[in-house]
Amino acid sequence: MNKDIATPVRTKQILEKYGFSFKKSLGQNFLIDTNILHRIVDHANITSQTGVIEVGPGIGALTEQVAKRAKKVVAFEIDQRLLPILKDTLQPYPHVKVIHQDVLKADLKEVIAEEFKDCKEIMVVANLPYYVTTPIVMRFLEEKLPIKGIVVMLQKEVADRISASPSTKDYGSLSIAVQFYTEAKTVMTVPKTVFVPQPNVDSAVIRLSLREDPAVKVENDEFFFQLVRASFAQRRKTILNNLVNNLPNGKQQKEVIEHALEQVEIDSKRRGESLSIKEFAMLSDSLYKRFEA
């Protein structure tokens, strides 16, 4: 029986065996608590028919727990120094494939078509490096990949922003972007003490269940997201101020913006953070028809 990787003793042994030193620039923090890994995998509802994509496997602590339940695991690792370690630690799991590539540059559609032919469903499960959390999550969502859901550990602060509701301090364009595609729920918080090296902040695990259709139907997705970003550009300003100052040609089209707000009955003095995703959708459609970028 193989000893779990995610214990303080085994992790230390592996790191010493390979003389591995952590690279701060890659946001490397390895988990040393098997119970937490089991809970992450539980939240992902992995079965023997599930294919799993992992990002940043490190020395294979989470990969190993996922591999015990999944049909196939494909892990993207950017740090070449970890490849021989993973080859060693994941030897008992022939259905795990490690790809030495930046997941942000990979052709994910091709990887999925090639690697998960025999899987009924695909999940993304990962302990994400803090510095690239948002681009990675958005890449999986915006590419409209055939995945069922995403269960990832990330900085608690980012998890709070992703799952936030309107009129809270954490609610912003990231909340709307993720909730447009998924139902988001923070399922557990993770103290910084269960990592080596210890990060400066606590983490959280978030579960994103992909929606069959986006949360709202809009005439033009791109314009919708542009409008949302502009609405939060300066949090203390009103929605009207933000749109006038941050939409391209907004200053020239102040009257058009005022008219659109009026038409959908949104008070121009409200702040972006008080608008629901539905209100943003109505405003976006009302403005899109008349707005000249």
DSSP code string of 204-246: EEEEEEEPSS-SS--S-HHHHHHHHHHHTSSTTSBHHHHHHHH
Amino acid symbol at 42: D
Q: What is the C-alpha to C-alpha distance for residues 275 and 269, in angstroms, rounded to an integer?
A: 12
Among residues of the chain, what percentage have pLDDT more than 90?
Answer: 89
pLDDT tier, 185 (very low <50, low <70, confident <90, very high otherwise): very high
Give pLDDT, residue 256. 95
Question: Would the pLDDT of 27 be above 90?
Answer: no
Binding-site sequence positions? 29, 31, 56, 77, 102, 127
Domain ranges for the chain:
8-210, 221-288
Specify whether the CB–CB gap between 192 and 199 falls below 8 A: yes
List pLDDT tens digits, range 211-259.
Answer: 999 999 999 999 999 999 999 999 899 999 999 999 998 999 999 999 9
Annotation: CATH topology of 221-288: Helicase, Ruva Protein; domain 3 (1.10.8)
In degrees, to the nearest 5, what angle opens at C-alpha 46 toward C-alphas 149 and 64? 110
pLDDT of residue 2: 65
Alpha-carbon distance of 74 to 116, in angstroms, equals 9
Where residue 260 falls among pLDDT bands split at 50, 70, 90? Answer: very high
Fold that domain 8-210 belongs to in CATH: Rossmann fold (3.40.50)
DSSP 107: -
Count of beta carbons in the 10 Å neighbourhood of residue 131: 12
What's the angle, vertex CA 59, arms to CA 202 and CA 14, rounded to 5? 110
> Tokens at residue 279, please?
């209100």
Average pLDDT over residues 57-77: 97
Which amino acid appears at position 114 of this protein?
A: E
**CB-hemisphere CA count at 13 Å for 39?**
14
Please answer whether residues 63 and 54 qualify as being in contact, where contact means their C-beta atoms are separated by less than 8 angstroms: yes
Q: List pLDDT tens digits, range 73-102.
A: 999 999 999 999 999 999 999 999 999 999
Binding annotation for S-adenosyl-L-methionine: 29, 31, 56, 77, 102, 127
Which pLDDT does position 88 carry in this prediction? 96
Task: Tell whether the model's pLDDT for residue 293 goes beyond 70.
Answer: no
Query: Exposed e or buried b for every residue in 3-18, given b needs 16+ CB within 10 A?
Result: ebbbeeebbeebbeee
Q: Which two tokens stand for residue 204?
A: 């959280």
Element (H, E) at 287: helix 277-288
Question: What pLDDT was estimated at residue 232?
Answer: 97
Global model pTM greater than 0.75: yes
Residue 271: DSSP 8-state: B
- What CA–CA distance (Å, rounded) separates 93 from 5? 13
Please determine, for residue 1, whether its predicted confidence score (pLDDT) is greater than 60.
no
Please report, as a single letter, which amino acid is at residue 271: R
Residue with tokens 């209100």: 279
Average confidence score pLDDT of the chain: 94
Q: Which of 147, 152, 96 is nearest to 121 (CA)?
A: 147
What is the model's pLDDT at position 291?
79
